[in-house]
């Protein structure tokens, strides 16, 4: 005959919430119910199998309220749900336990993997996005200095590579062994894809910078015209009147104009600094 501990674990695995509730009402001390073989708690099992409602129920009873559960490899429940790409469970656990978002594993076998690294290593793009949305550090590294982008590249997960790079991952810096993400690539196909993404992102960034510069230039046209229009007034009136004129034009636009200093009259530029 199964013990209450075994019955509870089995109920969690097969997603039988009614039995879980009944057992924990009768045996509340079994809430955590750590498995001696791997260190998994009730929440680890629920997270690994993606049973969102059981995760919610367990935490409502206080599971991991005071201290986060760690298995023998140092995995938290969030590590397991992200590794298995269970979106609802990952979303819930990331929101419920934000302090575990960048928590590295503590075992020498897993060399400091964060949930994001595990999700990237497994190619779980949905979980990668969820973790980043909740504030996971995109360039958090393991103990060898490898980041999520290294693992996505190493295992050839193209969708994850694109997500990470488009969301700002550092793809240029090497890890502590001197390897960049590109050098970690799984295959020539993966390497070519990563090179193409990085080139695309860099070109897009350059285009955005050029567009911003153009927009700034257009925004400057009106304040520059206003400055020139009021330049004689600003130099012939009293100090208080000069300040009033300058405030009317707008200090932010004046500062921008002075900073660029590529157009306009040097005398006017000097007058502006004297009265700002």
Residues 74-94: pLDDT tens digits? 999 999 999 999 999 999 999
**What are the CA-CA distances from residue 85 to residues 50, 59, 91, 120, 162 (Å)?**
8, 20, 10, 10, 18
Say whether pLDDT at 238 is over 90.
no
pLDDT at 46 over 80: yes
Task: Assess whether pLDDT exceeds 50 at residue 157.
Answer: yes
* Residue 195 in domain: no
pLDDT class for 140, splitting at 50, 70, 90?
Answer: very high
- Pick the last residue of a domain from 159, 186, 213: 186
pLDDT for the residue 260: 47
**Domain match, 117 and 238 both:** no
pLDDT computed for residue 221 by the predictor: 67
Task: Check residues 149 and 190 and name the one with the higher pLDDT.
Answer: 149
Q: What is the mean pLDDT of residues 214-233?
A: 66
264: left (phi over 0), alpha (psi -120 to 50) or beta: left
Residues 6+ apart with CB under 8 A from 216: 256
Does residue 264 register a pLDDT over 70? no
Cα separation values, 241 from 85, 232, 245, 254, 271, Å:
66, 12, 6, 16, 13
Instruction: Using a pLDDT cut of 70, give the percent of the chain over it.
Output: 79
Of the residues 142, 157, 186, which one is the last residue of a structural domain? 186
- Shared domain check, 223 and 165: no
User: What is the residue-averaged pLDDT of the chain?
Assistant: 85
pLDDT at position 169:
96
- Are 29 and 99 found together in one domain? yes
Residue 241 pLDDT level (bands cut at 50, 70, 90): low
- Confidence (pLDDT) at 272: 41
**In this structure, is residue 107 part of a structural domain?**
yes
**How many Cα atoms are found within 13 Å in the side-chain-facing hemisphere of 261?**
8
CB atoms within 10 A of CB 97: 19
Looking at the domain assignment, is residue 120 inside a domain?
yes
**Are both 100 and 162 inside the same structural domain?**
yes
pLDDT for res 274 = 45
Residue 191 is assigned to a structural domain of this protein? no
CA distance 43 to 59: 8
Predicted local confidence at residue 107, as pLDDT: 75
Q: pLDDT band for position 217 (50/70/90)?
A: confident
Confidence of residue 205 (pLDDT cuts 50, 70, 90): confident
Domain that holds residue 88: 4-186
In a domain, 249, yes or no: yes
Instruction: Say yes or no: 118 and 220 in one domain.
Output: no
Residue 140 lies in a domain: yes
Please give the average per-residue pLDDT across 61-71, as a whole number: 96
Residues 137, 250 within the same domain: no
Instruction: Report pLDDT for 237.
Output: 52
Is the pLDDT at 258 greater than 50, yes or no?
no
Are 242 and 140 in the same domain?
no
Is the same domain home to 142 and 180?
yes
Looking at residue 70, which CATH number applies to its domain?
Answer: 1.25.40.20
Last residue of a domain, one of 152, 186, 220: 186
Q: What is the mean pLDDT of residues 123-137?
A: 98
Q: Are residue 88 and residue 172 in the same domain, yes or no?
A: yes
Domain count, the chain: 2
């Amino acid at each position: 005959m199964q013990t209450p501990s075994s019955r509870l674990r089995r109920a969690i695995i097969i997603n039988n919430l009614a039995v879980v509730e009944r057992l924990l009402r009768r045996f509340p001390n079994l809430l955590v119910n750590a498995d001696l073989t791997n260190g998994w708690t009730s929440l680890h099992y629920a997270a690994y199998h993606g049973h969102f409602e059981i995760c919610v129920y367990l935490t409502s009873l206080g599971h991991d309220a005071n201290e986060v559960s760690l298995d023998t490899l140092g995995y938290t429940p969030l590590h397991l749900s992200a590794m298995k790409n269970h979106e609802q469970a990952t979303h819930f656990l990331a929101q419920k336990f934000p302090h575990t978002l960048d928590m590295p594993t503590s075992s020498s076998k897993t060399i400091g993997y964060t949930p994001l690294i595990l999700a990237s290593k497994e190619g779980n793009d949905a979980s990668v996005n969820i973790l980043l949305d909740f504030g996971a550090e995109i360039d958090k590294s393991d103990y060898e200095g490898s980041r999520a982008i290294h693992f996505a590249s190493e295992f050839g997960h193209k969708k994850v590579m694109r997500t990470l790079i488009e969301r700002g991952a550092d793809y240029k810096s090497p890890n502590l062994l001197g390897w960049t993400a590109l050098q970690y690539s799984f295959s020539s196909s993966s390497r070519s894809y990563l090179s193409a993404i990085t080139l695309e992102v860099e070109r897009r960034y350059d285009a955005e910078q050029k567009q911003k510069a153009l927009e700034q230039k257009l925004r400057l046209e009106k304040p520059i015209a206003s400055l020139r229009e009021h330049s004689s007034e600003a130099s012939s009136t009293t100090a208080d009147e000069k300040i009033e004129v300058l405030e009317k034009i707008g200090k932010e636009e004046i500062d921008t104009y002075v900073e660029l200093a590529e157009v306009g009259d040097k005398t006017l530029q000097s007058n502006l600094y004297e009265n700002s």
